[in-house]
Each structure stands twice: as C-alpha cells, then as structure tokens.
Structure 1
Amino acid sequence: MSVERVVDCTCDLGEGPVWHTGEDRLYWVDIDAGRLHRFDPATGTHDVAFETRVVSGVTVQRDGSLLLFMDRGRVGHLVDGELVTVEQVVEQDEESRFNDVIADPAGRVFCGTMPTDARGGRLHHLDTDGATTLVADGVGIPNGMGFTRNYESCYFTETEADTIYRYAYDERTGELSARERFVTTSDTPGLPDGMTVDAAGGVWSARWKGGCVVRYDASGTEVDRVDLPAEKVTSVAFGGPGLGRLYVTTGGGSARPEEGTGAGALFRLDPDVAGRPECRSAVDF
C-alpha cells in the first residue's frame, strides 16, 4: 500500500480528520495550537481555515457548516469561516477539553473529554437541541469512534486501556449498551487512537507512538498494517473521489527527527477498499 505525504505540516497534535463531501476537502485540527487545517486534493492546496485557542474535533453539519469542539466544555459553530456561536455544553468539564467526536445518523454527536488530575475522561452524547447526556465516566482517554455498516453497533476506543470496545447502538434514542471488547491492542505497536470503519466493515485504527495504522476485519482479526514515518499516528478518515483514499494525521511535528521524519504531516494511503460517508451533525443551539 503506497504512503504519500500530501501536506508536510508539523502539527504537534494533528487529529480529527473529517472529509467534507460538499466541498471535496479534508479538515483536521492541531489541537493545542488551535488550528483548523484544510486540504483540497483537487488542487493540492492547504491552508489554515480557522484559528482559536484550542480546537480538538470537528463535525460537518447538515447545512455544510462546521461544529468545533474546543476546551472548557465549549462547542463553536463555524459558518463561512466565522465563529457565529460558542456554547458551553458540558459545564462539569470546564477544566478539560474535548477529544475525539463523531456524529450519529440522527445528527447527535458522541464527544469525549480528556482526564484531569482529579478524575478520568468522559464520553458525552450531545443531542440535536444542545443538551448533553453522560455516557461513560472514568475513561482512560476517550478516543476514536465509528459505527458498523448496519448502524446496530458503535465502536469506542479507550486508549490507556489498550482496547477498542463495541456497544449495541439504538439509532432511535442514541443509547449505547451491552459493552464488549472488540480488540485488545496490547500485542500491537503503540496505543489505539483515532479510527474509522470502511465500506466492507473493516476497522482502521491509528497507533499513537506505534508508527502505524492497523486494519481489523469485523471479527477483530488483524488483516493489514501500514507503517508511517511518524511515531505518533493519531487518526484516519476516508476521502477523495468515491472515498477511495485514506488520510492519516500525525503529531510530534516540533520534535523531528526524534518523532520521525514525517512527524506532524498529513499522509494519504491507497487501500483496496473504500470508506463510507460520515454522518453529519444537526445540533441547533
């Protein structure tokens, strides 16, 4: 599988890639730098679409605007490059920041918040009316999420537990239940970070401090592994024509070459399977 460096940026914590089907462009964040990056593969151009204090994750709204998941439990609504609304949706996480996020088929958003010195991480469910529900507490870094092809199950990565879980998912209510271990990753390099699910049901998991991306089939068996020239491989998302390319974000860009010659860059893989369109959020504050 070919590995192409498409944007040689030096993100310290590049994360959260999402393909915007309406624009045919990829967005991703450099969390602590507060930068929202944007890449247009048709022209090969890259720019910083927005900059703020902290931005941890992005979802595309049904109208094509963006939700930015930030620090102190805040979510911003970005319209045509302007931040028109900022709401503190999770007051109990004022000392934390959001981490990975994903929209569900109903337009709600599952969003994790990072651990603090006083407590573990949390997973919240942001409803379309802006109300939140606590889904899980005491999490060792909530991370990558994705849905099975039939949307009957939801994957959730707990990085410090070396585990990707699978929950039963109720599309009508958004409820998660019946948690089971999908994969324990302690026998593969690094720690599980961001993830995505392809059109065949395969699960692609980025490896923080592992320098690779691992693909599992729907039974949890490893079927492929791709090495990259960056130790901190953070997340993955399908994009491009027919969603046939896999984009990979990385971190550690200020510490090249210790973190790898490609640390912080955006990479593109050419797998033999396509992705699926990600669900769009529909949160109205």
Structure 2
Amino acid sequence: MTTDATVVVDRRFETGEGPLWHEEDQRLYWTDIPAGNLHRYDPTTGDVEQFYEGESVGGFTIQSDGDLALFMTEGHVALHRDGELETVIDGIAGEDGMRFNDVIADPHGRVFAGTMDVDDFSVGRLYRLDTDGTITEILESIELPNGMGFTPDQSELYVTESNANTIHLYDYDEATGEISDPRTFAELPDEKGMYDGLTVDAEGRVWSALWGGNAIVRHDADGEIAERFEIPAEYVTCPTFGGESLTDLYVTSAASDADPDEPHAGAVFHLEPGVEGTPEFTSNISP
C-alpha cells in the first residue's frame, strides 16, 4: 500500500492534536493545545473555522447530542454547547500544574482521559469519567499517557505510554468500564520518533503517529510495523479516519518544536490509506 500525504489545512498550529470526525456535520475537529483553540475543517468547501478560544483543551470527545466534552487543565472538564461552557468537574485533587492529554469515549459514553505534566514526561495518570460525572483514577503512574483505541470487538483497549515508547493492551470490560491484564502490544526502541496519538481501522490494525519521526505507521496484529507513511512534518501528533465512508485518514501535526523553516509544520494532512476506519464512540457525560 503506497499513498502520499497532502496538506489540507496549511497553517502552523502550535500543537494540533486530537482530531475527530464529527459525523453529524461531516467536518474534522481538532485542538491546538497551547493556543487554547478548537478548529473544524469542511472538506467539501475547504473552509476552516476557529470556534473556541479560552482555556487550553488537551483533548475532547463528541457527545451523543453533537456537543463537545472538553478536557482541560488541572482536571477541569466542561461541556461546550453553542459557544458556552458548562462545568462537569472543576478540577481533580493532585492535578495542580497538570493538563489532560489524549482522551477517548467508550461504547457506553464514558471517557478515558490521560493527564500529563508538561515539564516532566515521567509523570502521568489515566482516569475514567463516568456518564454521571464521577471520575475514577485507573492508572496512578503512566509516563505521558497518549493515544487510545478499542479493538473492533470492544474487548480490549490500547493505551500509549509515549515517554516509554510503548503501546499497551488491556482487557476491557464493557459493562463496568474496568481495564485489566496489561501487556505490551508494540515498542519503538530503534525507530526515529516517539509514539503519539493512534486510531484503529476496520481490520483491527493500529495506526500511530510518530512525534519527531515524520510518519504514521500501521501495525500488524502482532504489533510489528507493517507499513510506514511519510508525512511532510517532523512532529506528527495523531491520525483519525473521516469522510462519509471513513476512508479518509486525517493527520495533525505540531509547529511548536519544529524548525522555523519547515514549510508544513503544524499543518493538517490527508491520506487515502486504502482501508476503512471505524466510527469513534460518542460520550454521554452529564454535568
């Protein structure tokens, strides 16, 4: 499988991250974390809109009603409705100086959400936010929690530990939201770059962004890298499937650490990967 990445939004987003395809309005959404902005892109018109500016959003989910759940700094979670924020959680004890990073909704509308220290990547935690607004610490120590994804049968959950350059696989209990039996799915000791965000395609294969590696990689069922897709930006952050049939792959990147002369640092890219994605689950969080 050979494909070329094309630039669809050629702007220098500081840290473009967490892209999600919004099924309801058929647009791509993503966050620019340090800038405290959210953006959306309409592939039919090419229009790009910044629709939020404020507190830094490390990750977000799309709610079942089409609104957004925003995961911000020091444990702050809020719902974004018609440009207004409604707080779900003011903060989490012990998360001073931390921020949320990658998040993912599960089949029951809960959200798994990682937190990180922007100055010390060896510090991080993983939480589960239940639909009633109750938050539970799932992993008390994980070095920069990042990209997550479910297997197609929803029996297992991938969790990236970026600072350890490892993607873990956990058993996942859909009824309770509990995870257990951690094991290593993939490691990246000799490859240029660091595992960042990920997504899972309809064949159950994991696609991961390589921060500092100019690439997206697709793993086989055993965790080995089967394919590599070059991206014309060094700091690649996250892939997601989109488009009406989920046959488009969109990829975000970051300009914050890039060479000022790198022409497409921070841009959003598009690939035609030759495989379909699966729809991301929506959250159903109540304040």
Instruction: Judge conservation of contact 1:10–1:254 (CA < 8 Å) in 2.
Output: no
Query: Does residue 69 of structure 1 match 2:76?
Result: no
Aligned to 1:103: 105
Query: C-alpha distance in 2, partners of 1:84/1:132?
Result: 17
What RMSD, in angstroms, separates the aligned Cα atoms of the two structures? 1.6
Aligned to 2:266: 264
Query: C-alpha distance in 2, partners of 1:255/1:146?
Result: 27
Aligned to 1:176: 179
Letter in 2 for 1:105: P
Aligned to 1:275: 277
1:7 CA drift (Å): 0.3
1:241 CA drift (Å): 1.9
1:220 CA drift (Å): 1.0
Aligned to 1:187: 190
Instruction: Judge conservation of contact 2:70–2:77 (CA < 8 Å) in 1.
Output: yes
Letter in 2 for 1:167: Y
Change (3 A) 1:72 1:122: same
Aligned to 1:32: 34
Query: C-alpha distance in 2, partners of 1:84/1:129?
Result: 14
Structure 1: unaligned runs, 5 residues or longer:
none
Count of aligned positions = 284
Give 1:11-160 correspondences, 5 Å limit: 11-85=13-87, 87-115=89-117, 120-160=123-163
Aligned to 1:235: 238
Letter in 2 for 1:99: N
Task: Tell me which moved more, 220-229 or 201-210.
Answer: 220-229
Instruction: Judge conservation of contact 1:212–1:225 (CA < 8 Å) in 2.
Output: yes
Query: Does residue 284 of structure 1 match 2:277?
Result: no
Write out per-residue CA displacement over residues 225-274 of structure 1, whole angstroms, 9 at most, x where no aligned residue.
0111111100111001201101000002585445x321100001100101
Instruction: Judge conservation of contact 1:11–1:250 (CA < 8 Å) in 2.
Output: yes
Aligned to 2:250: 247
Q: Normalization by structure 1: what TM-score?
A: 0.96
1:71 CA drift (Å): 0.6
Letter in 1 for 2:278: R
Q: Normalization by structure 2: what TM-score?
A: 0.95
For 2:140, what is the secondary structure of its paired residue?
strand
Query: C-alpha distance in 1, partners of 2:112/2:225?
Result: 26
1:119 CA drift (Å): 7.3
